[in-house]
Amino acid sequence: MPKTYKALFYEVTSLNAHSRLSTISPIKLELRDADNNGSIETSFSASNLSNGKSPTLDTIGGSPIEYISTPDYFTVNIDGSLKVITGVSFSYTDVNTDQIRHVFTPVDGSILVDATFIWRSSPTWVQHKSIPTVSLKALNPPCFTPGTLVATPGGERLVEKLKIGDRVITRDNGIQKICWIGRRDLKGIELAQAPKLCPILIRQGALGNNLPEWDIVVSPNHRVMISSEKSVLYFEDREVLVAAKYLVDLAGVERMEPNGVSYIHFMFEHHELVLSHGLWTESFQPGALSVQGLDDAQRGELFELFPELETEQGQRSYGAARRSLRKFEAQVLLDKVAS
What domains appear along the chain, each with residue ranges and CATH number? 3-138 (no CATH), 149-285+320-337 (2.170.16.10)
Q: Note whether 214 and 203 are within 8 A (CB).
A: no
d(CA 292, CA 303): 12
The count of other CB atoms within 10 Å of the CB of residue 57 is 16
Q: Work out whether the CA dihedral 23, 24, 26, 27 comes out positive or negative.
A: positive
Mean pLDDT by 10 residues, the chain (339 residues): 76 59 82 81 59 67 87 84 86 90 82 80 53 62 68 94 96 96 84 85 90 91 91 92 93 85 91 96 84 77 83 83 92 66
Instruction: Supply the pLDDT for residue 87.
Output: 87
Q: Note whether 279 and 216 are within 8 A (CB).
A: yes
Instruction: Supply the pLDDT for residue 19.
Output: 57
Instruction: Supply the pLDDT for residue 46.
Output: 46
Integer CA distances (angstroms), 227 to 12, 178, 208, 236, 240, in order: 41, 26, 10, 12, 7
Instruction: Supply the pLDDT for residue 130.
Output: 41
Instruction: Supply the pLDDT for residue 334.
Output: 78
Q: Note whether 263 and 256 are within 8 A (CB).
A: no
Q: pLDDT averaged over the chain?
A: 82
d(CA 239, CA 286): 21
For 223, counting Cβ atoms within 10 Å of its Cβ (0-12 exposed, 13-18 middle, 19+ buried), the class is: buried
Residues 170-194 have pLDDT tens digits of 999 999 999 999 888 888 778 877 8
